[in-house]
């Protein structure tokens, strides 16, 4: 049943008609629980509230798959404006972005030009950038561009998805760059030819990635809401005397808030992934697919508690 619901929400995530409808009607029907606001300006209050609690964030302007240079230029400028806002508002925040929004599917020259503009601004304002990983078809290209940019800039990281068979090899290959990596389970629907179909196999691979990257001495962001993975990380860190400043936990805005608070109170760095923007629909559906229990929160948002 859970797998059926996951497939259903992933199907809805790709529905362009529903995406356009969602943009038209805004953050209704429970999405406001997971998305901080339609604009960065409207999200700053939520970000500052998290910072005041002692939680750093990474912000993400929602939007994917631009297919022309004008839209890619607009998204690039939005990232630069967000970097400036982080600096101006003195937010304890990083910036996450998807390279499909910067022209990844249009040309290598375009996406590299746009990414260097963003990285130049980020370096100037001392803001850290994470390149989100997207679906499997874009994985190799994303890592190639990350390697190029990592050789030019220090303040950049990317994401490795545990459900892909290739990910352990990717972590080992990237070690020569001493990268900061965010490790996640993965939220796209992929065929069994490239991704583990069973949750138990994904979890086991996730643990291998965490162990490998931490024991290689690299900074590791463990992005999960899964108590088993969290406990595994705690035990690994204790066993190998890994310093707390070599890793952090990351969770999504609005999900398992009490657990976020608990981890912070236990002395762990707890970063919150804060999305914002009108193009929230695909992100929202993937969150429901990842954790069908989130549907309960949506229903409460629609019908009241």
Average pLDDT, the chain: 88
Positions of E strands within the chain: 57-61, 93-97, 129-131, 156-161, 181-184, 220-223, 247-252, 270-276
Q: Tell me the residue range of the domain where 270 lies.
A: 36-279
DSSP notation for 3-20: HHHHHHHHHHHT-HHHHH
301 found inside a domain: no
Contact of 209 with 171, CB cutoff 8 Å:
yes
pLDDT, residue 301, reads 43
- Domain of residue 164, CATH code: 3.20.20.220
Q: 234 vs 54, 122, 163, 203, 249, CA distance in Å? A: 20, 32, 21, 15, 10
Specify if 11 maps to a domain: no
Residue 213 structure tokens: 């990257």
3 state SS of 246? helix
Q: Confirm if 28 and 303 have CB atoms less than 8 A apart.
A: no
**What pTM value is reported for the model?**
0.88
> Is residue 2 in some structural domain?
no
Known catalytic membership, residue 132: yes
Residue 27 lies in a domain: no
**Which residue in 6, 182, 287, 291 is the catalytic one?**
182
Mean per-residue pLDDT, 234-260: 96
pLDDT at 272 over 90: yes
- Tally of structural domains, the chain: 1
In-domain check, residue 12? no
| Cβ–Cβ < 8 Å for 143, 170 | yes
Quickly state the pLDDT bin for 227 (edges 50, 70, 90): very high
Asked whether residue 122 is domain-assigned, the answer is yes
* Position 33 pLDDT exceeds 60: yes
Which tens digits make up the pLDDT trace of 147-182? 999 999 999 999 999 999 999 999 999 999 999 999
Among residues 60, 105, 132, 203, the one annotated as catalytic is 132
Q: Is 182 a catalytic residue?
A: yes
152 Cβ neighbours under 8 A, 6+ residues apart: 116, 119
Decide if 273 is inside a domain. yes
pLDDT in tens, 194-203: 999 999 999 9
């Amino acid at each position: 049943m859970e797998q059926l619901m996951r497939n259903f929400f992933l199907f809805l995530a790709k529905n362009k008609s529903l995406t356009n409808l969602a943009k038209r009607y805004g953050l209704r029907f429970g999405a406001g629980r997971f998305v901080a606001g339609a604009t960065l300006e409207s999200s700053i209050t939520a970000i500052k509230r998290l910072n005041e609690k002692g939680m750093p964030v990474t912000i993400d302007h929602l939007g994917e798959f631009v297919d022309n240079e004008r839209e890619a230029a607009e998204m690039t400028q939005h990232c630069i404006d967000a970097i400036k806002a982080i600096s101006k508002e003195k937010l304890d925040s990083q910036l996450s972005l998807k390279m499909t929004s910067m022209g990844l599917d249009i040309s290598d020259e375009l996406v590299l030009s746009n990414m260097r503009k963003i990285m130049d601004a980020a370096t100037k304002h001392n803001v850290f950038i994470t390149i989100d990983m997207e679906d499997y078809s874009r994985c190799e290209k994303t890592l190639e561009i990350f390697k190029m940019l990592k050789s030019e800039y220090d303040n950049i990281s990317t994401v490795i998805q545990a459900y892909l068979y290739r990910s352990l090899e990717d972590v080992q290959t990237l070690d020569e760059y001493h990268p900061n990596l965010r490790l996640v389970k993965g939220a796209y629907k992929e065929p069994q030819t490239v991704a583990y179909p069973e949750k138990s196999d994904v979890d086991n691979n996730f643990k291998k990635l965490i162990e490998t990257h931490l024991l290689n001495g690299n900074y590791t962001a463990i992005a999960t809401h899964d108590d088993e993975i969290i406990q595994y990380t705690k035990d690994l860190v204790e066993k190998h005397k890994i310093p707390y400043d070599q890793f952090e936990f990351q969770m999504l805005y609005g999900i398992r808030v009490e657990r976020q608070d608990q981890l912070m109170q236990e002395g762990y760095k707890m970063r919150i992934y804060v999305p914002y923007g009108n193009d929230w629909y695909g992100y929202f559906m993937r969150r429901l697919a990842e954790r069908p229990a989130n549907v309960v929160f949506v229903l409460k948002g629609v019908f009241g508690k």
